[in-house]
Structure 1
């Protein structure tokens, strides 16, 4: 079984997290059955950007990276305190451990910013939120990242980044393809109506 760690911060965007739970879940039930997902956070309860509460299955302090095959990070809003958790040392350390082990790291929108802050994207290609005068893309470049401005999804070795919420499903499907196969991913897409 391939396990995905869905790393959640206070203020994350639910739609960006739900694509991972749904695509991995659909694969577990209707696809090749080889994937599972565990939600992880720094707190017992996390408040999403638009105010509903999520209870992660595991606390970040309990994570053993060796038990997982991939990491998924949804973005969120600064106004909802996304960066307080996402820029914390334990959050960044999880990212570093996954990259050191050359495991897949998939992010949506500003989920790329903690990856950049962790240092693992230094000198590599990536993207992040692409509107509001590219403020977030400028922030990503300040972490030493080669920002690709006009590509919706950028893959550099084991790291997938994307430039806004509209890319979320495609990131989740790319993660599934990398964990399983293109054929299996296309089957799950078809079953989900894509």
Structure 2
């Protein structure tokens, strides 16, 4: 069983988290049963960007990275406290530990910023929210990231980054493919109605 840690900070976008829960969950129940997802939060009650409350299954302080095969991080809004929470040292250290162990790290949109702040993207390729006149892309570059501005998803070794919420399902399917196979990912896409065949 491949286990995914869905790491949630206050102010995360629910839609960006839900793609991971759904794709991994569909594979667990309707697919080959080889994946499982556990929600891990910085605290016991998290508020999403749009005032949606979530109770994670596990707290960050109780996380053992060795129990997981991959890390998934949805982005969020600065105004909702996303960076205040995701820039905390304990959040950044989890990212570093997953990277040190060569485990897959999948992020959506501005979740690339905590990755960059942790240092795991320094000297590597990545992307981030591409609108707002490139403001976030310029910010990502200040961390020593080689920003790929015109690719929706960028993969550099074990790290997946993407450039806006529209990429969310594709990131989740990419993660599933890396945990299983192309064929398994295609079957789940078919079952969910993405592949017509």
- TM bin, normalised by shorter chain, reads over 0.9
Deviation at 1:65, TM superposition (A): 0.4
Whole-angstrom distance in 1 between the partners of 2:15 and 2:134: 22
Whole-angstrom distance in 1 between the partners of 2:119 and 2:108: 18
Deviation at 1:100, TM superposition (A): 0.2
What does residue 92 of structure 2 align with? 92
Whole-angstrom distance in 1 between the partners of 2:36 and 2:9: 20
What does residue 140 of structure 2 align with? 140
What does residue 189 of structure 1 align with? 189
Whole-angstrom distance in 1 between the partners of 2:89 and 2:78: 17
Q: What is the CA deviation profile of residues 10-69 of structure 1, one whole-angstrom value per residue up to 9, with x for unaligned ones?
A: 000000000000000000001110000000111110000000100011110100000000
Partner of 2:49: helix, strand, or coil?
A: coil
Q: What is the CA deviation profile of residues 90-125 of structure 1, one whole-angstrom value per residue up to 9, with x for unaligned ones?
A: 000000000000000000000111000000100000
Residues 104-115 of structure 1: pairs in structure 2 closer than 5 A:
104-115=104-115
Residues 117-128 of structure 1: pairs in structure 2 closer than 5 A:
117-128=117-128
Partner of 1:154: helix, strand, or coil?
A: strand
What does residue 176 of structure 1 align with? 176
Q: Which moved more, 1:135-144 or 1:158-167?
A: 135-144
Q: Does 1:83 align with 2:83?
A: yes
Q: Does 1:163 align with 2:140?
A: no
What does residue 41 of structure 2 align with? 41
CA RMSD of aligned residues (A): 0.4
Partner of 1:79: helix, strand, or coil?
A: helix
Whole-angstrom distance in 2 between the partners of 1:170 and 1:139: 24
Gaps of 5+ in 1: none
Deviation at 1:84, TM superposition (A): 1.0
TM-score by length of 2: 0.98
Partner of 1:83: helix, strand, or coil?
A: helix
Whole-angstrom distance in 1 between the partners of 2:81 and 2:118: 18
Deviation at 1:162, TM superposition (A): 0.1
What number of residue pairs does the alignment pair up?
194
Q: What is the CA deviation profile of residues 133-164 of structure 1, one whole-angstrom value per residue up to 9, with x for unaligned ones?
A: 11111111111000000000000000000000
Partner of 1:106: helix, strand, or coil?
A: strand
Whole-angstrom distance in 2 between the partners of 1:139 and 1:81: 18
Deviation at 1:187, TM superposition (A): 0.2
What does residue 54 of structure 2 align with? 54
Q: Which moved more, 1:15-24 or 1:135-144?
A: 135-144
